[in-house]
Chain A
């Protein structure tokens, strides 16, 4: 019988058992739905050992290359060691270059990883306060513009252990540990004429900002429309940078939205989703990026889908079941 090692424990896997069955039999619950290799909710990663080819059927080449597999259709014929995808992120140190204020409760953290880092703007990394405490933060920087440096936007959460530490204790010259990047929410070159709709609240702007800069850097020609919302002007940030960007690039439109108070000139009135959807009755063929308040993201997915956007064109960091896009900056 082959052995499956997970989290330091080895389990014997019978021939008629899938990895999903075997882990389940030992009390390790893997998110799953179809049990037929179709829905991909049970995706895991092999960290040692050789996977049977069938266990990776239907996965994207990038995932195959990283030894991801589907637990429900994986019947290992050799010993393997496996982990949940978000447990396998490589960890390395980075220098804190500076921390600057973006608005009253959001700062930008600039880090320089001590090893070359490949990432797509809009993905997120794990930032460790210590070995056991970490949070996910989205990448607002772009390799072509910021070289080796990465930018995070961090909102100070009430009682936030990691965000409070970043705001109050972290300084230029400190060294922190971060993980390699992860997530599916990023710009995909190859469709330069496609419309891009980006809707975000608060520090949900971080990944969207990275995606916009990335798209413009790639010479995207189709419309790129950003709706960034908050209850008041004070909750928005990068207003000037985004306005300047919209002047420099005619295909980029920036719509700052204010929901709760009187709206000054230059700002749209209403929630960010109301404003965005009122201007986009037909989203067929568009690619949609959503980030921020979980309720907004969930409603926006539905409304964008009903307005004709394909499910596969709606991106909201859907990939880690334990991390919603909503917490990737807090």
Chain B
């Protein structure tokens, strides 16, 4: 079965999603403070890898990567509400790109499996 990543059009679709998603995140009062003082290109590359993973595209993220990658943010107070905000912003992004609601739910469920690793629990 082809992954959602392939269904929505692979890398070009992810590129389109990154701009929309990252703009939402930077404007989101709940989470934007986590993104101050960071290099935007590097962050965009991470967003791209993140969205690729969320859509089931090629990625090699492990639970340990998720823990290590977010530990400094957990130390700054990253919690469930922030995780929810990111999932919501990604959902809104995909909706704008006309991804069907059931697929968005599927993605949210996949992201849910990373919650404890991201939040260091």
Contact = CB atoms under 8 A, between A and B. Distances in A.
Given A35-B60, A36-B52, A38-B58, A58 B45 contact: no
A60 to B, nearest CB: 13
B22 to A, nearest CB: 7
Contact of A311 (B18, B46, B57, B59): B18
Interface stretch (B36-44, B80-88, B98-106, B109-117): B36-44
Among the interface residues B15, B27, B49, B57, which one has the most CB atoms of the partner chain A within 10 A? B49
13 contacts: A33-B49, A34-B46, A34-B48, A34-B52, A38-B45, A38-B48, A38-B57, A39-B45, A39-B49, A302-B40, A305-B22, A305-B26, A306-B23
Interface residues of A, number: 20
Contact of A34 (B11, B18, B40, B45): B45
A169 interface: no
A251 interface: no
A40 B45 CA distance: 8
B46 A33 contact: yes
A318 B41 contact: yes
Contacts of B6: none
A301 interface: yes
A31 to B, nearest CB: 9
Interface string A304-322: 0110001110100010000
A310 B59 contact: no
B19 interface: yes
A36 B15 contact: no
Contacts of A305: 19, 22-23, 26, 40
Contacts of A104: none
A305 B59 CA distance: 26
Contacts of B41: 311, 318
Contacts of A36: 49, 52, 58-60
